[in-house]
Chains A and B, each alone.
Chain A
């Protein structure tokens, strides 16, 4: 991973531009560099969750209190949020989530496919605006537009960070043949 012009740094810059004050996450390899950047800055409060479901209610609470938030999760976590995701409709509050995808073409772990493949459909079913990005040079604009839709347009928005962008997790030759 290069230290310059990393797309995760682009996301961090967008979050700061949009005055994000609370960042929710579970440990995630794809988001780890971004999470560390958020943890190191004084302008953002980062909260590690026990399950992604918490993040929906935290985001609603932050908004009630006048703060913007973002939830960082993996596609497998989307399934954990679904009933709570309904809060975005019932309360009609701005919501932004950035989702690192698993279970897309090239994925080595069969357990990641069901929720990975279901993620866009499930989000759409809950009324979330879904956008995605698979090229590093498009990340900044895509996330910025998503943040505008959320915080200016009042929408619930998910950005899927495609596996092609993140890179395929590789356990090398350890898998049984």
Chain B
């Protein structure tokens, strides 16, 4: 049973991305995580996904291996993470030191109407029950040793530091509130997003 979440995702993501420079490569999962990183400020080295649910961790892994001197940060939600649990085991086989993953867990499928995900508590009523799935334990069980859960504002400064600088792979599960927030949308065209990312990173599209 989880205690009531108190952290708000937008200011949290803004804090995580504060002062992002050319060394920080960011991939965000579809839906809320996409809008969150865009609200913090759209930038070429953001790769916000509009689809491909389940892709962010793998995409971040391929990128982290290709760019070992850059910091790669994957930001996504519990629904997206649940769709690709195996990708955490693949991260563990590679142990990329420059990869950090943060899952913003509001225990809901936000884009489809806030239905309960498996991370919602069990026995939580006929429509709101999940399984109490703990993604941080799963990440650890997959072989990502540095995997913890963050629930409180007092832990945020350390969270940001870990995501930005700690030797990876780092996995952080952050319990966040269910909120109705404005959609802040980045460009949608995937080829454009890819080309501007590569241009900024490699100097060619």
Contacts and interface: CB of A to CB of B under 8 A. Distances in A.
Interface residues of B, number: 37
B62 A69 contact: yes
B190 A61 contact: no
Interface residues of A, number: 32
B63 interface: yes
Nearest to A69: B62
Interface in A36-63: 45, 47-51, 53-63
B59 interface: yes
A108 interface: no
Interface stretch (B149-157, B176-184, B191-199): B191-199
B168 to A, nearest CB: 15
B119 to A, nearest CB: 20
Contacts of B110: none
A62 B63 contact: yes
Contacts of A54: 58, 84, 86-87, 90
A24 to B, nearest CB: 9
Given A45-B65, A57-B55, A86-B52, 7 more contacts: A22-B62, A47-B94, A48-B93, A57-B56, A61-B27, A86-B51, A92-B190
25 contacts: A21-B66, A45-B65, A47-B61, A47-B65, A47-B93, A47-B94, A48-B93, A51-B86, A54-B58, A57-B62, A58-B62, A60-B59, A61-B27, A61-B63, A64-B25, A64-B59, A64-B201, A66-B66, A84-B54, A86-B52, A87-B55, A87-B190, A90-B52, A91-B194, A92-B191
Interface of A: 21-22, 45, 47-51, 53-67, 69, 83-84, 86-87, 90-93
